[in-house]
């Protein structure tokens, strides 16, 4: 039975490339015989807020012949890539027969609990694909909070003089993308939510002086000093060395983000401490402290900020989950993959994310270079394009409601991450 199921899975995924058309070919469905029609979507859950948008995924199959392991001809199905058939060949319906205008659907009514869809192609009809409807957060569920952000850009003098200074425009582009994702203003995915966490570039330094570049604090020194005084013990140097007091700003007033040339690592860590009596996050080891005890906690720089290697930050490489995923980790999120680096089953403890594996569209890259690595497949065969910030290889444009719940436990109950309570960075004076 297991072998039979595996065979069906291979057929389902369209591994039999002989059945797929040429890459540039748009099929004439008056001439092509469709053997099977199925329907999926980019999620099995839709938030009924009138903004979140479900995209239906039609799957059309041709019958094909292949040779099994014994060399005998067998009949299977080859899936036709969606970009090879005209969009008007597929018609979309609600389960009750209501005609839809296209593949996208959104609603504000979650009273039914579920909504079903089906498609027709020529004279064939798919089974009903059912999606769970979920009520959005109440408007007063979470307070909107704003973190003052400072990017400490540390580079060798030689690099800056050679014209390799990291430009503020690049930092601002990355920053704005992060802001849009946390506010759910990037794309309207079916189960994406607004975290009510905002980020704003600092305008005033710790001395109350207006910054030359909003949100950017630059430190340059000769490469030999960086290699001798900073990089060998970077974490301790930032916290304790008299030479680097200018790149450690009060965590009660700023969210520190370090971009350091030659750091050779990117570090974002969930909090090690949380207020006593708070609901602890599954999958994160934290010590409970009273608010008074927090004043004497021996924190490290990763309790109060994030570190990026300069080259990785500017290229968004060297980080499995990108800089936005690093920020998610900082606020208590875990990777959504169903296996950790050791191959053991793992969990992100969020019911509204799904375990997945990367699915390679073989007709896009016959050399196996994973040209389409944002396409994922769940254990039960649902294909979807990855948008979650904690997915590996993803568009990183959405955060789910359950992920928001985890993040807000951190923002509201971890004093080392309470910079949002201060307005100093925006006014240069005490609140």
Mean pLDDT in order along the chain per 10 residues (431 residues): 36 41 48 83 93 92 76 77 79 97 95 96 93 96 98 97 96 96 87 96 98 98 96 95 96 98 94 94 93 94 97 83 92 80 71 81 50 72 84 86 97 97 95 73
DSSP-derived pairing of the beta strands 383-385 and 129-134: unpaired
pTM of the model: 0.85
Return the closest-CA partner of residue 295 out of 280, 275, 277. Answer: 275
The span from the CA of 194 to the CA of 284, in Å, is: 23
pLDDT of residue 338: 63
Contact 268/255 with Cβ under 8 angstroms? no
DSSP-derived pairing of the beta strands 104-105 and 54-67: antiparallel
pLDDT of residue 201: 98
E strand intervals along 177-215 = 197-201
- Helix/strand/coil for 256: strand
The span from the CA of 206 to the CA of 215, in Å, is: 12
Contact 313/323 with Cβ under 8 angstroms? yes
pLDDT of residue 299: 95
Provide the greatest CA pair distance for the chain: 80
The span from the CA of 412 to the CA of 279, in Å, is: 11
Neighbours of 5 (CB within 10 A): 9
For tokens 């240069």, name the residue. 428
């Amino acid at each position: 039975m297991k072998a039979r199921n595996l065979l069906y899975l291979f057929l389902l995924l369209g591994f039999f490339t002989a059945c797929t058309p040429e890459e540039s070919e748009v099929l004439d469905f008056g001439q092509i015989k469709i053997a099977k029609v199925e329907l999926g979507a980019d999620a099995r859950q839709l938030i009924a807020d009138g903004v979140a948008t479900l995209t239906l995924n039609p799957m059309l199959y041709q019958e094909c012949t292949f040779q099994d392991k014994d060399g005998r001809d067998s009949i299977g199905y080859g899936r036709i890539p969606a970009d090879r058939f005209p969009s008007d060949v597929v018609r979309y319906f609600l389960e009750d027969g209501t005609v839809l205008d296209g593949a996208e659907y959104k609603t504000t009514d979650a009273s039914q609990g579920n909504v079903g869809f089906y498609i027709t192609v020529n004279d064939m009809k798919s089974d009903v694909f059912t999606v769970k409807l979920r009520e959005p957060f109440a408007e007063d569920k979470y307070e909107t909070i704003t973190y003052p952000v400072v990017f400490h850009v540390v580079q060798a003098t030689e690099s800056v003089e050679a014209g390799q200074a990291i430009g503020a425009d690049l930092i601002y582009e990355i920053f704005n993308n992060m802001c849009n994702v946390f506010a759910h203003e990037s794309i309207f995915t079916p189960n994406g939510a607004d975290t009510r966490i905002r980020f704003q570039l600092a305008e005033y330094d710790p001395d109350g002086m207006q910054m030359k570049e909003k949100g950017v604090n630059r430190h340059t020194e000769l490469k030999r000093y960086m290699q001798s005084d900073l990089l060998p013990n970077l974490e301790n140097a930032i916290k304790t060395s008299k030479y680097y007091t200018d790149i450690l700003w009060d965590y009660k007033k700023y969210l520190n983000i370090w971009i350091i040339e030659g750091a050779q690592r990117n570090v974002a860590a969930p909090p090690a401490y949380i207020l006593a009596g708070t609901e602890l996050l599954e999958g994160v080891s934290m010590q409970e402290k009273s608010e008074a005890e927090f004043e004497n906690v021996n924190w490290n720089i990763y309790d109060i900020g994030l570190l990026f290697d300069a080259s990785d930050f500017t290229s968004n490489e060297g980080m499995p989950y990108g800089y936005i995923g690093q920020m998610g980790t900082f606020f208590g999120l875990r990777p959504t993959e169903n296996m950790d680096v050791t191959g053991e089953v793992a969990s992100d403890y969020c019911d509204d994310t799904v375990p997945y594996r990367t699915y390679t569209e073989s007709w896009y890259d016959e050399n196996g270079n994973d040209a389409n690595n944002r396409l994922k497949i769940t254990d039960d065969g649902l294909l979807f394009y990855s948008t979650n910030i904690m997915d590996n290889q993803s568009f990183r444009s959405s955060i789910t409601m359950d992920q928001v719940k985890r993040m807000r436990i951190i923002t509201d109950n971890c004093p080392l991450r309470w910079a949002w309570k201060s307005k100093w960075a925006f006014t240069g004076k005490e609140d």
